Amino acid sequence: MATKVTIRSRSEFQKVLSEAIELLRSLSKETPGFPPYENIARQLDAMSQWTSGGRVPSAEERSSIDVGLVAARELDAYPDSKIQDLAQRLYELNAFFADFPPSGL
């Protein structure tokens, strides 16, 4: 069963983003060259760059991310618990990133 993930702050976002990147690296070693993993990796890297140092991503940057959709389309069919954990993190990351708070949180 996948771990339930909830992001309520920027610090939680950064923590879940790091966890997702590490989990994706592990899964990518098991299935090298899997196109959805490559797509997700590019997007997570962009999210990391666009939020580093407390930066708030632009509206255009926020709207360019669709890792939640990729997870729903490409990962939901796999019963593997690691894949489901990654998918849960991607859903939450996507949702938080889309409405990234301007400051505080």
pLDDT in tens, 53-69: 999 999 999 999 999 99
Say if CB 14 and CB 54 are below 8 A apart.
no
Q: What is the pLDDT of residues 11-63, one digit of tens each?
A: 999 999 999 999 999 999 999 999 999 999 999 999 999 999 999 999 999 99
- Check residue 1 and give its pLDDT: 52
Token pair for residue 80? 């593997």
Q: Which amino acid is at 4?
A: K
**pLDDT above 60 (res 2):** no
CB within 8 A of 42, min separation 6: which ones? Answer: none
Confidence of residue 5 (pLDDT cuts 50, 70, 90): confident
Which distant-in-sequence residues (6+ apart) come within 8 Å of 3 by Cβ?
85, 88
Structure-token match 């997870």, residue found: 71
